[in-house]
Amino acid sequence: YYTAWAGCSLYIQDFYIEPDYRHRGIGSSLLSAVAELAQQRNSVFVELMVSANNPSRRLYRRLGFERVKHAMMY
């Protein structure tokens, strides 16, 4: 639960697709299922922690993930 956003969220940790299975839509399908679950639970957002140099950030942006403005992780 996040008091600053007044609601619960879903948190994804260690999202990984084996290299032989990438570029087949598996990651997109899994993340879409998570987004659907978040909507069903009225979650204010889905949290996905990722390294700044992770090339998968392109996929996340394409699927609608955005950086949370005014928030910093320490």
Model pTM? 0.78
2 is catalytic: no
CB distance 60 to 50 below 8 Å: yes
Q: Of the listed 1, 16, 60, 74, which one is catalytic?
A: 60
The pLDDT assigned to 27 comes to 94
Say what percent of the chain tops pLDDT 90: 46
Written as six digits, the tokens of 20 are 């032989």
Closest Cα to residue 26, out of 36, 16, 40? 16
Span 36-51, mean pLDDT? 89
Cα 29 → chain centroid: 12
The pLDDT assigned to 1 comes to 65
